[in-house]
Amino acid sequence: MGRILNLAEKKPAKFGFTRVQKRKANASEKAGQLNLFSPVSATDTGHARVVSMPTRAESGSAFERALEYDERNDERARELYLAAIEHSDCVADAYCNLGVLEFRNGKTDEAFDCFSRSLTFEPRHVESHYNLANLYFDIGDLRLAREHYEIALKIQPAFSNAWFNLGLLHAMNEDLHEAVSALSQFQELVPDSQTSEADDLLLNLRKTIKLRNQPV
């Protein structure tokens, strides 16, 4: 039986980790209400308190300020994400972005813990599922990587990076038809100028399928 597919020679790079890019409104804010009562911390949910209104100089949540520092690669982002978690400010988002920072600092175990904690607060947190999938991909646990990519795509079907990484994972497992399907989804979601690696991999996959006398 012939072979063409050989990712060992030049394995395309998967897309990397992603952080939450902006503060997500909680349920009361989505309903147009100001959240005046909130838990004291992420672990203290039994009591409510009146939140003092910030002055103009203090405007912006801890999470929003953390994100500003993060975008500038300022190390103070980490302590502000921790402050956001302590004050129940976008806890799932803060854990997710903290996990990305931990990974970039070479702390893989801490990154796993952060993404997992994010999902305990928000089980459908798409970025945390995607980032966990990337971690599992990196350590070679392709089964769990696939599970988390697929969960992320159920939540957000237009998540193009997740489609590409899932396609690459299928190709590595030699699940050729699944790889073609996932990479074709990626192609449909991004501009033509961004599909070159997917184009090359799809061409290789289709040649391999043809050589093995399988229907495309």
- DSSP codes joined into one string, 21-41: -SPPP-HHHHTT----EE-SB
Q: Which of 105, 139, 156 is the last residue of a domain?
A: 156
Q: What is the pTM of this model?
A: 0.80
CB atoms within 10 A of CB 132: 28
In a domain, 186, yes or no: yes
Residues 172 and 188 in one domain: yes
Residues 6 or more apart in contact with residue 196 via CB below 8 angstroms: none
pLDDT computed for residue 214 by the predictor: 55
Residues 120 and 169 in one domain: no
Residues 147 and 206 in one domain: no
The CATH number of whichever domain residue 198 belongs to comes to: 1.25.40.10
Residues 6 or more apart in contact with residue 179 via CB below 8 angstroms: 167, 168, 170, 171, 201, 205
Strand pairing partners for 50? 37
In a domain, 5, yes or no: no
Residue 174: domain span:
157-216
Angle made by CA atoms 13, 191, 130, in degrees to the nearest 5: 45
Contact 115, 132 (CB under 8 A): yes
Residues 141 and 183 in one domain: no
pLDDT computed for residue 120 by the predictor: 97
Of 81, 106, 75, 83, the C-alpha closest to 96 is 81
Residues 136 and 79 in one domain: yes
Query: The tokens of 67 are what?
Result: 């994100």
Residues 166 and 134 in one domain: no
CB atoms within 10 A of CB 111: 23
Contact 153, 126 (CB under 8 A): no
* Number of domains composing the chain: 2
Question: What's the rounded Cα separation, in Å, for the pair 29 and 22?
Answer: 14
Residues 152 and 165 in one domain: no
Mean pLDDT by 10 residues, the chain (216 residues): 54 88 56 38 41 41 94 95 96 98 96 98 98 97 98 98 97 94 97 92 92 67
Residues 191 and 132 in one domain: no
Residues 91 and 135 in one domain: yes
Q: Which of 120, 136, 156 is the last residue of a domain?
A: 156
CA 80 to chain centre: 20
**Cα–Cα distances in Å, from 95 out to 102, 130, 166?**
10, 14, 24
pLDDT computed for residue 3 by the predictor: 57
Q: Which of 127, 156, 185 is the last residue of a domain?
A: 156
Of 140, 191, 130, 132, the C-alpha closest to 163 is 130
Residues 113 and 65 in one domain: yes
Contact 136, 145 (CB under 8 A): yes
Residues 135 and 174 in one domain: no
Residues 102 and 184 in one domain: no
